[in-house]
Amino acid sequence: MTTEQKQEYDVLGTRPIRHDGTDKVTGRAQYGADLQLPRMIHGAILRSPYAHAKIVSIDTSQAESLAGVHAVVTGADMPEVESRVANLGETSVDVDYLSQNVLARNKVFYKGHTVAAVAAENAHLAEEAARLIRVEYEPLPVVLNVQDAIRDDAVLLHERLKTQSLGLDSSEKPSNIAKYFLYEKGNLDEGFQNATVVVEREFRTATVHQGYIEPHNATALWNLDGHLTVWTSTQGAFMARDQLSDVLDLPVSRITVVPMEIGGGFGGKIAVYMQPLAALLSKKSGRPVKMLMDRASCFEATGPTPGSVIKVKMGADAEGKITAAKAELYYEAGAFPGSPVNPGCMCIFACYDFPHAKVEGYDVVVNKPRTNAYRAPGSTNAAFATETVIDELCEKLAIDPLVFRLKNAAKEGTRRVDGPQFSRIGMWETVDAIRQCDHAKSSKDARQPNIVDGMEYAYGRGVASGFWFNAGLRSSVTATVRPDGTVSLVEGSTDIGGTRTSIAMQLAETLGIAAEDVQPTVADTDGVGYTDVTGGSRTTYATGWAAYEAAKDIVRQLIERAAEIWETDPENITYNNGTVCGPDNRSLSFKEFAKKLNKTGGPITGRGVSDHNEPGGAFATHLVDVAVDQETGKVEIVRYTAAQDVGKAIHPAYVEGQMQGGVVQGIGWALNEEYIYDEQGAMQNPTFLDYRMPTCLDVPMIETLIVEVANPGHPYGVRGAGEVPIVPPPAAIANAIYNAVGIRMTELPMSPPRLLHEMSK
Amino acid sequence: MTTEQKQEYDVLGTRPIRHDGTDKVTGRAQYGADLQLPRMIHGAILRSPYAHAKIVSIDTSQAESLAGVHAVVTGADMPEVESRVANLGETSVDVDYLSQNVLARNKVFYKGHTVAAVAAENAHLAEEAARLIRVEYEPLPVVLNVQDAIRDDAVLLHERLKTQSLGLDSSEKPSNIAKYFLYEKGNLDEGFQNATVVVEREFRTATVHQGYIEPHNATALWNLDGHLTVWTSTQGAFMARDQLSDVLDLPVSRITVVPMEIGGGFGGKIAVYMQPLAALLSKKSGRPVKMLMDRASCFEATGPTPGSVIKVKMGADAEGKITAAKAELYYEAGAFPGSPVNPGCMCIFACYDFPHAKVEGYDVVVNKPRTNAYRAPGSTNAAFATETVIDELCEKLAIDPLVFRLKNAAKEGTRRVDGPQFSRIGMWETVDAIRQCDHAKSSKDARQPNIVDGMEYAYGRGVASGFWFNAGLRSSVTATVRPDGTVSLVEGSTDIGGTRTSIAMQLAETLGIAAEDVQPTVADTDGVGYTDVTGGSRTTYATGWAAYEAAKDIVRQLIERAAEIWETDPENITYNNGTVCGPDNRSLSFKEFAKKLNKTGGPITGRGVSDHNEPGGAFATHLVDVAVDQETGKVEIVRYTAAQDVGKAIHPAYVEGQMQGGVVQGIGWALNEEYIYDEQGAMQNPTFLDYRMPTCLDVPMIETLIVEVANPGHPYGVRGAGEVPIVPPPAAIANAIYNAVGIRMTELPMSPPRLLHEMSK
């Protein structure tokens, strides 16, 4: 592997202003909803009022005859597609289920499931027309949690669904368990026999939503030549293209996806929802069709993260070494298979190095929206269980939780329960960073008076670690040298967290030029090579690597050109730190050389592709102090410090931003966020008023400790940094609450009523 | 030089449907006027009513105080730029003059010259505001033709302008002659002494306009971060960018030019006009500013082709061999230097191989709009003179004009008067093609009765040849293999005449795949490497070559990938005709291989650059039959056949289209088109009603004979094809008119009043 890792960089590790900053702060950046096309019409969706029902009939005639209505589509308009697994980057999806999720055919599987879509002159008219569609339903009993779903007498969602295990149908009859995963290492019995203490607990987590600020959107134009163009905010234009290709049964070359700016995704903007509907409506109407989703539909009909039930049993010896651990994870897939239970299984014990383990995972369908990725999908649920159990083990052994983690930290060579062996990783270093930080050294008691404004608070401190394996996958870029010595960079990664800049910086570092001298552009699917989603914490790692390759390709050509100009062999030319050097002390800076290119053989364009899968595991250890309001059960986050191994922080400000953002989402998940359902499977709180996410008033400044243990699997040592910070918060906060009020919370969210209920027992 | 020329191709020479066809015929293609941006405001221009005047003062206060007006700019807002020559592809421009042409500073030099620009909520308000600007002028005497302009006592346009010759100021005092060119070979006196007959004539041609259907347009957004984006229909986004960089004094990396679809250019959409104004108005207002030009301004204030005076003297011996020729060319540059007189000098005798020649060219400023390129700029004027003189020589020598041309045809090794030596060319072959065609073999008299509908017609046949040297210059593309075996191609050449397809076909041929499997996209200046203008008949030649290089780059990578997959050395892999072959009879088609790429190391992107300057001379020989209405002097084109050496016709239908389009423009130039000025320099006919261009009712189907003498300077033998067909028509028609009515027309246009005047003498 080519690697250019070094101690000091010129560009990497600095904090240049982001290239797209002005557009975003001045409102010029074009998000999906901003798009206007000539003769554009507007779509609306009719959604199921039932969480589980047969569709007996659909009558669209009244809607179609309403003046100003251009097209109506129902399940009958969707091409029949074969059941087949398609890759979605970190996750995958069965194409037939994806198609049914986009538009219900014979059954609806959750409240909010799309039953029909309408396009009309304006959005209001389209909504009115949607209400004129008459659907006859035959309601069915609903299944809303894994316990009910896996009962022998459970109502089945899908007649054709049999449990898959190791890729084979392992159940004889249909089941709501879509998949079963099993990972083992060592000998569990032996392990528990060696334990001095054993803790076994069961945990529950609620369904939570990514809560991206920008709702879903899609505008489609199905041209008369059969070419489909879709403008949408998405985490991956190519993946949106490929899903459209799958569900519409079109070759990828007939589809162009133009990624708009994206107002948050966190894993929730990978799957397609309205894109195929807008496409079909455009095909029928011959007009560009724009569809915008409202917030309630975002909650009810896109992909939140699964609610889960997790059992963990763990033993440790008197020295504080883990001897064995066992876990069962039940994740709600939602209406169609595909929860992140497998990543949950892979992550649940990944922070620790111990010999005996068994992990079982169940992907269970229930009558809720089909879940999708949410920042380190599956790992937060799992860490809540493991890290709370460890805290209890530490208590029983009277060992400091940080010391315990240092003793057991996974390290280079540790083999995960699911098989892979770690290369150089920084788990130990994140614990050590927390141990040495100001926050850890501060007194727990000296922080604040116990009574503030007449209310009595209990203070506690908690710690937890977390793991995310990160993704590698494929990225493509091209880069062209311009005559003023700047470089235009064309990339396929949509920019959610500042990756235009973190990728440009790697190109700049490799060329030995300034970050500001690289100007990045995110292209559509025709303008650049295949690039996987912005997800899996892969973008700075993989697209950055592609940029590094493009820079190398530019350097190769610069050297050849210099050899031509100076009439020598390329071997006599070197390129170092932005300077081309030739024989007889001849040298030219990159900028000087750039000026000459157009007159000495033409411009130079470099291409770079990356397809590497050594993204380096990401580890985080968090420390939190909480104040529990004794009267209301409300938990205040008093101080929060997050340490994380990011390999190499390309742009430390964005790494800090990712860490802080992940922590805040983890705090919301820990304390307040949850889908509240009634017995018929109707979500009771599908608004930001009732679904309570943290605001800036709810959290203190999150302190960050960037740990840099270079990833040997990247030329600049980069590891993905975006996801793992969401993993530790719920467990860290649960441990702090225990520390404050002596109650072990085993269910998320640890909301005031729930905590008050436990405290009043 | 790499060359893949062969007799039979799979893709080249076929006629696939153009990739952008549906968008263009259904009205979906987005031209400059179609663009809408959020919060966009609209610009209008105040133009000079005088052809020559000092600007004493400009008062913009009333305009600025009108409600709804956002910004006003005048010459004072333009950065001062140094006098310096900037390349415009086929032509060049002095940056200071370009700046003054965009926005007048102290003087106006032609009626319609921009004096100020306004941006307001809507276009009507902007126009109203423009009318509120008070400008005090001090009118100056006007100079409207070269004869007046070069007189010793002529009024001078520019105080700093001295005649340049061989790059040096050769006049001591200021002059209206901006440049003087001199080319000589052999000994002129000796040549004329060897002549049996000598003909010497003086010719005049009128100013004519390219007449593109789409007027100029520009929308600009000067972002708060200092980055300028301009959307415009242009023949070259990079050249527009570079001119903006020059006149606004911004680095090219601060500017993005997005090329919109272009409704014709013909050389007239290379220079910038409103783009810098829209930019300055956007900078002042903070809003996107859109500007559309009306038709009258297109005539009065953009760059038509020059009126000219040309003297030609030519001698031939009794065998019909040219012995010597001499020419003086005076071209009206318009208000600022830069007529295409130099190309005129280079082309005027280029069709013929003879020993003694002298050519002098004068670039003369006059009070008309600054001329710009128009299809083979300078050559049509020149050919009108030479080819008419040759017709007269043939008559005097009683030799068939085709035989004469065969005898004297330039050929491989012939040295042009301006120096370069021809490689393999097809002048002789175009004459031979005409000699052998049906049209030539048809009887002149049998065509039609002499009296039609009671009107008496005189019939005549004429022939003429023409030359254009074509351009090479720089082009860049990238191309990415998609998993369905298609290739997306990103190119910098704006598509005027079907070049998306002619470039895609060369990529397809090189890869051994179908033309339809390549999907071309024209990128903005950030999305692809530097690419020169679509002009100079260079696009299919040069960007096609870049596509060929990109295909080669893809093949190199395919071979490396195959070697990895099959675990062998790249030397053991071959790629032929769309199939990768390896050891042990292993083989994969391109499509099969494409499917594997994402799973075997990632997608493949190829890059291609071309910078070659052996574009191959283009020759054409045309045959025309005319019917002259004896009563009105109106000339009807009865039959027209054009033969042209195109090297290799990549897409014959588009080559035919270029030939037909060029001929029709040549017919308009020959018979009707002209700028009619009053004595004060005001154009009297700036509308399409009064400026008479041919319609489909005016011309018969133009017959085309594609001659293919492969250009040794291109891998597929391509020569530029777009420009030379405009060159022969005026001379061919003049010769036909002589044949019909016995009158040698020496002035264009040969309009009914002018011909009637000559006939009634």
Q: Is residue A51 part of a domain?
A: no
Q: Is residue A417 part of a domain?
A: yes
> Collapsing DSSP states into helix, strand and coil, what is residue B350?
coil
Residues B297 and B220 in one domain: yes
Q: Is residue B678 part of a domain?
A: no
- pLDDT at residue A168 in the model: 74
Residue A448 banded pLDDT, cuts 50, 70, 90 = low
Dihedral sign computed on CA atoms, order B325, B328, B334, B336: positive
Residue B1 banded pLDDT, cuts 50, 70, 90 = very low
Residues B414 and B478 in one domain: no
pLDDT tens profile A426-447: 999 999 999 999 999 998 665 5
Helix (H) or strand (E) holding A386: helix A379-397
Q: Is the pLDDT confidence value at B78 over 90?
A: yes
Mean predicted confidence (pLDDT) in B479-488: 96
Domain count along chain A: 2
Residues B405 and B514 in one domain: no
Residues A169 and A238 in one domain: yes
Residue A753 banded pLDDT, cuts 50, 70, 90 = very high
pLDDT tens profile A526-564: 999 999 999 999 999 999 999 999 999 999 999 999 999
Q: Is the pLDDT confidence value at A2 over 90?
A: no
Interface mutation target, options A22, A222, A482, chain B, most CBs of B under 10 Å: A482
State whether A253 and B607 contact (CB < 8 Å).
no
Report chain A's mean pLDDT, rounded to a whole number. Answer: 95
Among the candidates A548, A576, A610, a domain finishes at A610
pLDDT tens profile A730-750: 999 999 999 999 999 999 999
Structure tokens at A31: 């998000």
State whether B476 and A519 contact (CB < 8 Å).
no
Q: Is the pLDDT confidence value at B89 over 80?
A: no
**Which residues of chain A are within 8 Å of residue B516 when distances are taken between CB atoms?**
none
Q: Is the pLDDT confidence value at B382 over 50?
A: yes
Among the candidates B586, B610, B634, a domain finishes at B610
Say whether residue A526 is in contact with chain B using an 8 A CB cutoff.
Answer: yes
Q: Is the pLDDT confidence value at B4 over 80?
A: no
Q: Is residue A650 part of a domain?
A: no
Q: Is the pLDDT confidence value at B446 over 70?
A: no
Distance from A526 to chain B by nearest Cα, in Å?
6
Q: Give the DSSP letter of residue B531.
A: -
pLDDT tens profile B560-596: 999 999 999 999 999 999 999 999 999 999 999 999 9
State whether A474 and B26 contact (CB < 8 Å).
no
Mean predicted confidence (pLDDT) in B335-343: 96
**Which residues of chain B are within 8 Å of residue A475 when distances are taken between CB atoms?**
602
Residues B362 and B477 in one domain: no
Which residues have a Cβ under 8 Å from the Cβ of A255 and sit 6 or more positions away?
Answer: A227, A228, A229, A230, A241, A244, A245, A248, A525
pLDDT tens profile A226-243: 999 999 999 999 999 999
For chain A, positions 215-254, list CB contacts with chain B under 8 A. 221, 223-225, 227, 251-253
The parent domain of residue A247 ranges over: 141-421
Widest pairwise Cα distance in chain B: 87
State whether B480 and A517 contact (CB < 8 Å).
no
Mean predicted confidence (pLDDT) in B249-265: 97
User: Using CA atoms, how far apart are residues A309 and A483, in angstroms rounded to an integer?
Assistant: 60
State whether A21 and B490 contact (CB < 8 Å).
no
Q: Is residue B208 part of a domain?
A: yes
State whether A28 and B223 contact (CB < 8 Å).
yes
Q: Is A127 or A86 the better-scoring residue by pLDDT?
A: A127
CATH number at residue B287: 3.30.365.10
Say whether residue A1 is in contact with chain B using an 8 A CB cutoff.
Answer: no
Mean predicted confidence (pLDDT) in A632-661: 97
User: What count of Cα atoms within 13 Å lies in the side-chain half-sphere of residue B719?
Assistant: 28
Mean predicted confidence (pLDDT) in A191-215: 98
Residues A335 and A250 in one domain: yes
Residues B276 and B405 in one domain: yes
The residue of chain B with its CA nearest to that of A224 is B22
**Which residues of chain B are within 8 Å of residue A519 when distances are taken between CB atoms?**
253, 526
Say whether residue A475 is in contact with chain B using an 8 A CB cutoff.
Answer: yes
Residues B390 and B507 in one domain: no
- pLDDT at residue B445 in the model: 60
Q: Which residues pair with B210 in a beta bridge?
A: none
**Which residues of chain B are within 8 Å of residue A238 when distances are taken between CB atoms?**
none
Mean predicted confidence (pLDDT) in A329-353: 97
User: Using CA atoms, how far apart are residues A326 and A183, in angstroms rounded to an integer?
Assistant: 10
Interface mutation target, options A23, A36, A530, chain B, most CBs of B under 10 Å: A530
Looking at chain A, the whole-number percentage of residues with pLDDT higher than 90 is 92
Number of helices followed by number of strands (H, E) in chain B: 20, 31
State whether A530 and B483 contact (CB < 8 Å).
yes
Residues A360 and A211 in one domain: yes
Q: Is the pLDDT confidence value at A1 over 70?
A: no
Distance from B601 to chain A by nearest Cα, in Å?
5
User: Using CA atoms, how far apart are residues B271 and A182, in angstroms rounded to an integer?
Assistant: 69
State whether A480 and B529 contact (CB < 8 Å).
yes
CA B368 to each of CA A61, A558, B48: distance values in angstroms, whole numbers, following the listed order:
65, 46, 12
Mean predicted confidence (pLDDT) in A508-526: 97
pLDDT tens profile A592-614: 999 999 889 999 999 999 999 88
Q: Which residues pair with A322 in a beta bridge?
A: A316
Which of the residue ranges A77-86, A195-204, B338-347, B444-453 would you say has the lowest mean pLDDT?
B444-453
Residues A286 and A417 in one domain: yes
Say whether residue A476 is in contact with chain B using an 8 A CB cutoff.
Answer: yes
State whether B490 and A23 contact (CB < 8 Å).
no
User: Using CA atoms, how far apart are residues B428 and B413, in angstroms rounded to an integer?
Assistant: 13
Among the candidates A610, A641, A676, a domain finishes at A610
Packing angle between helix B729-741 and helix B652-671, nearest 10 degrees?
A: 50
State whether B530 and A607 contact (CB < 8 Å).
no
Q: Is A85 or A120 the better-scoring residue by pLDDT?
A: A120
**Which residues of chain B are within 8 Å of residue A476 when distances are taken between CB atoms?**
480, 602-603, 605
Mean predicted confidence (pLDDT) in B495-519: 97
Give the closest residue to B372 by CA, choosing from B209, B233, B235: B209
Say whether residue B514 is in contact with chain A using an 8 A CB cutoff.
Answer: no
Q: Is residue B86 part of a domain?
A: no
Q: Is residue B320 part of a domain?
A: yes
Q: Is the pLDDT confidence value at A91 over 80?
A: no
- pLDDT at residue B3 in the model: 62
DSSP string across A21-78? HHHHHTT-S-BGGG---TT-EEEEEEE-SSSSEEEEEEE-HHHHHSTTEEEEEEGGGS
Residues B147 and B229 in one domain: yes
Q: Is the pLDDT confidence value at B72 over 60?
A: yes
User: Using CA atoms, how far apart are residues A149 and A307, in angstroms rounded to an integer?
Assistant: 13
Residues A497 and A400 in one domain: no
Q: Is residue A324 part of a domain?
A: yes
> Collapsing DSSP states into helix, strand and coil, what is residue B600?
coil
- pLDDT at residue A455 in the model: 77
State whether B609 and A598 contact (CB < 8 Å).
no
For chain A, positions 621-640, list CB contacts with chain B under 8 A. none
For chain A, positions 671-730, list CB contacts with chain B under 8 A. none
> Collapsing DSSP states into helix, strand and coil, what is residue A86?
strand
pLDDT tens profile A363-405: 999 999 999 999 999 999 999 999 999 999 999 999 999 999 9
State whether B474 and A225 contact (CB < 8 Å).
no
Distance from B484 to chain A by nearest Cα, in Å?
7
Q: Is the pLDDT confidence value at A507 over 90?
A: yes
- pLDDT at residue A3 in the model: 62
Structure tokens at B759: 């006939």
pLDDT tens profile A305-317: 999 999 999 999 9
Q: Is the pLDDT confidence value at B91 over 80?
A: no
